[in-house]
Amino acid sequence: MRKLIHLTLSPASRLARLLVGEKRLTCDPVLSDDPLVHLPSFIDLDGTTATGLWAIVDHLEGTYPEHPLMPEDPVARGEALRWLDWAFGPLHEQVTRRILFEKGAQRFTGAAQRMAPDMNVIRQGREALRGTLKALGEAAEMRGNLATRDCTIADLAVAAHLSALDYFGEVPWTDYPHTAEWYGRIKSRPSFRTLLGDRVPGQPPTASYAELDF
């Protein structure tokens, strides 16, 4: 059986789980008991191990091309990769780290250990998130999804971050209807079901987290 070693609320782990689901692979998800190791890590049927998000993306795309997650067209492919890079660059640094890593426990996010949430940092993340949601809505309204009309790795990467933030009710969906409509479509994909079933001990999700009509 394939295995994916991951952390529940880590965006990188969440994207890896989505990618495995989109590839329609049977896989045994294994929660790591050590948030400091290099995760996520994917072990394939033949024993091949891909450790780290980029290695997993490369392995899945190269080994299982039947359900591609990147566009074939070079221009669209470049746009999808731009969004992927942005999700784990600016989005991660300006929003996710400031909110999720302050509110979520280290053993579920992989964040650096801290004493208590810093509300000033969280407020900075919330302010940056609003600009992000506006930009996402504009892109989705123009193209249907972020990079192309079809769902690609771009949509899954950004949704991996938003889903972790949404677990804590940190996304003001009603203020950004175009973004909410786009996320609702991504959230309804079969690959998302495993994420919607997540529950962190002592930190239950917001009531609308698992709802498809929110």
Q: What is the CA radius of gyration of the chain?
A: 16
CA distance 114 to 119: 13
Does the pLDDT of residue 212 top 90, yes or no? no
Q: What percent of the chain is modeled with pLDDT above 90?
A: 81
Q: For residues 183 and 52, give the distance between their C-alpha atoms in angstroms, rounded to a whole number.
A: 25
Separation CA 16–CA 180 (nearest Å): 22
Average of per-residue pLDDT across 5-11: 93
Strand, helix or coil for residue 4: strand
**In sequence order, what are the residues at sequence separation of 6 or more whose Cβ sits closer than 8 angstroms to the Cβ of residue 41?**
4, 5, 6, 49, 50, 51, 52, 56
Q: What is the pTM of this model?
A: 0.93
In our burial notation (b when 16+ CB lie closer than 10 A, e otherwise), range 165-201 reads: bbbbebbebeebebbbebbeebbeeebbeebbebebe
Between 203 and 95, the more confident residue is 95
**The domain 74-190: what is its CATH number?**
1.20.1050.10
Contact 130, 172 (CB under 8 A): yes
Residue 105 banded pLDDT, cuts 50, 70, 90: low
114 pLDDT exceeds 70?
no
**Domain residue ranges of the chain, discontinuous segments joined by +:** 74-190
Going by the DSSP 8-state scheme, the letter that residue 112 receives in this structure is P
pLDDT for the residue numbered 110: 65
Task: Please determine, for residue 141, whether its predicted confidence score (pLDDT) is greater than 70.
Answer: yes
Cis omega (within 30 of 0) for bond into 40 = yes
More confident residue, 108 or 136: 136
What mean pLDDT is reported for the chain? 92
Residue 35 pLDDT > 80? no
The amino acid occupying position 181 is E
